[in-house]
Homo-oligomer: A and B are copies of this chain.
Amino acid sequence: MNYTLNNIPERTVKPRQKGLTMVMDKGLSLRQVEDFLEVAGTHTDIVKLGWATSYVTPNLKEKLALYRSAGIPVYFGGTLFEAFAIRNQFEDYQRVLDEFGMEYAEVSDGSMDIVHEEKCEYIAKLAKQVTVISEVGSKDATKIFAPYKWIQLMKAEIEAGSWKVIAEAREGGNVGIYRGTGEVREGLVDEILTQIPDERIIWEAPQKEQQVWFIKLIGSNVNLGNIAPAEVIPLETIRLGLRGDTFDYFLNK
């Protein structure tokens, strides 16, 4: 930090199990990755190459090497897993992970229907190859699950081998754990937290109000995802009580 302020909430340090910031790269150039790492590398725990953008991104191997040299794990968005799975190309997907030296992978069913036992089998298979993150929740705004269902799915996926489960929101932050307006489904989140330890969940929270809401609920060291590269520094200040939204939230704690 550039100067000393008293009474700043403590942040966990890397490698973090809680307090993670997961960033979405949806097409940065190599130089833009370098710029991102300069500014936000120390505050970023893991990077997702959004959905299947890796299919059309030039210089993919060079990009992965840049993140690797900064010690930041990268994974392909879950939609890519689904794109292979729906084409019955799961083994090709496994080969692609190897070919690019991936150490993490996401399993999701946001765009296709998969019987949940089958999804858990995919998780178990991939967990032998890489660290698995799995995502719960549909990208389809009309598919609403009851809280008990979210809990059931998350529990089963953790048992199947997921390191963390992600609560779906998309890049926009307007499905899954949010209403179409971006507002948090508060009762849903509260109920999930009665059953699943918060450090096992990464909450997708691309909008500032969503980040603030989760930080006030769970604390500075909540796991947040789908953060835009330019929003990592702003998010870090919110975690530390150094932006208006949480300015007095940690002062007397």
Contact = CB atoms under 8 A, between A and B. Distances in A.
B92 A4 contact: yes
A42 B56 CA distance: 10
A26 interface: yes
Given A6-B87, A26-B230, A87-B7, A243 B79 contact: yes
Interface in A64-107: 79-80, 82-84, 86-87, 89, 92, 96, 99-100
A96 B234 CA distance: 21
Contacts of A84: 5
Contacts of A3: 55, 92, 96, 99
Given A40-B27, A86-B251, A244 B58 contact: no
A24 B229 CA distance: 17
Nearest to A140: B244
B39 A28 contact: yes
Interface in A206-253: 208, 230, 232-234, 236-237, 240, 242-244, 247-248, 251
Identical chains bound together, number = 3
Contact of A112 (B4, B236, B247): B247
A27 B230 contact: yes
A1 interface: yes
Interface stretch (A46-54, A121-129, A144-152): A46-54
Interface of A: 1-7, 26-32, 34-36, 38-40, 42-43, 50-60, 79-80, 82-84, 86-87, 89, 92, 96, 99-100, 110-112, 139, 170, 172, 208, 230, 232-234, 236-237, 240, 242-244, 247-248, 251
In the complex, the 3 A-B pairs of residues with the closest C-beta atoms, listed nearest first: A27-B233, A52-B242, A29-B35
